[in-house]
Every structure is written in structure tokens, then in C-alpha cells.
Amino acid sequence: MPAIESPDDHPRLPQPSKDVPAFSPSTISVVFVLGGPGAGKGTQCANLVRDYGFKHLSAGDLLRAEQARPSSEFGELIKGYIKDGKIVPMEVTVALLENAMRDEIEKGNTKFLIDGFPRKMDQALKFESHVCPSMFTFFFDCPEEVMLQRLLNRGKTSGRADDNLESIKKRFRTFVETSLPVVDYFEKEGKVVKIDATKSPDEVYRAVKTGLKDRFQQRIGQ
């Protein structure tokens, strides 16, 4: 009596259709950068680009560029979502990120900071299954009153359609309701580096570098 049946004795079942990531985490490093609006994500990303040669891709910047592209079919849609502080349907944002990554990979870039993304669970799951699993997430933790001051200051010069009190309030709400669950999800996977973002940019950056070294030492070789 055969103890173990060989699987070849059975007719093969059709494989479930599987979403295979476009890029492998063994060759490409993806670090997500999350935090409320005004938490300082962009500032700290610029530091990391300067010192460690990351490629910085901001989901918000890619959406604004797509919105401004004259022949874009998504321009009006993106405009409305951004003004309301809502999350643009993930198909648009994931496709923009995947295209931008592909362009950079063709140029030889392998280390990515994906800033302001994923801000909703569906985006997180789609990106990791379809584009590339992340290595870890920086989470910039900052109270709303601090972020509000920073955003109102930035609003004086940023020219952004959403740096006004009404839009800022909506963005805070979206962050708490929709984006924090993504941080919790990655936290449960042990993939979050939490940074106190209330201090000065230099102090925050010191914590960022320590967090990065812990997680990234082998790959960066610094």
C-alpha cells in the first residue's frame, strides 16, 4: 500500500490566476514613507536621496503631474479627489508608480522611497502583489496641531490646491480613517519604523538614519 501518493497520479488542477509582482524584492528595494499631511515626509525623503542615492517617488507629485498633463483622461478626476483630500482610485496611482519605477529601473536605479503611499488598504495589497513587496515602512508620527501649522505655513508658498484649512481638515480625516489602518497592517507584519516627527528636521533625520541602518545595513553597505 503506497504511504504517500505522488501528486502526478492525479489530474492537474488549473492554477489559480496569480498576480505576480512586476519587480522582485531581491533586486529592488521599496521603502514606503507614510505619515499625515505635513508630517515631513518630503523633507526627510530629500535627505535620504542626497545621502543614500534613493530614488524618490511621491504618489501625490505623480498624481499632480498626471493631472496637469494636457491629454490625460484622468485630469479632472484627480483634481476633484485631491481638493477633497480623498484617495484617488488605486488603479490610477498604482499604474503611475509602476510606470515611474520601470523608467527608473531601466536607468539602473534599484532603491525606491515611495512617499505618501499606500494610503489605503486596497492600494497596499495591490502594490505589493502586482508591483513589488515592500522592505519596510517609515511612519512619521506627528500630532495634528503641529501638522496644521506646518501646512498653513507651506500653503503661503506651495501653490497647492489642498493646502488650505478646508482641504487640510478633510486630509486629516482621510488619514485617520483610511491611511492609519495601512500603518497598523504593516506594523503587525513587523515592517514599520516609527519616527517621532515633531522635532526639528535635523533631529528627525538622525532618527531616520538610525532606523534605516537597522533595516537596510546589508543592502546599502554604509
172 binds ligand UDP (CB under 6 A): no
Q: Is 194 strand, coil or helix?
A: strand
Site track for ligand UDP across 71-90, x = CB under 6 A:
----------xx--xxxx--
- Following DSSP, what letter does each residue of 113-169 receive, concatenated? EEETB--SHHHHHHHHHHT---SEEEEEE--HHHHHHHHHHHHHHH--TT-SHHHHH
Is the preceding peptide bond at 118 cis, omega within 30 degrees of 0? yes
Report, in Å, the least distance between residue 12 CB and ligand UDP: 40
Q: Is 96 in the site for ligand UDP (CB under 6 A)?
A: no
On whether 206 is known to bind a ligand per the annotation, the reply is no
> Per CB under 5 A, which region of 36-44, 48-56, 95-103, 155-163 contacts Mg ion?
36-44
Q: Tell which one of 4, 13, 24, 42 touches Mg ion (CB under 5 A).
A: 42
**Does 159 carry a binding-site annotation?**
no
3-state class (DSSP) for residue 57:
strand
With residue 35 as reference, give the H or E element that holds it: strand 29-35
Provide the binding-site residues for Mg ion, judged by CB under 5 A.
42
Residues making up the annotated binding site for a ribonucleoside 5'-phosphate are 64, 86-88, 116-119, 123, 160, 171
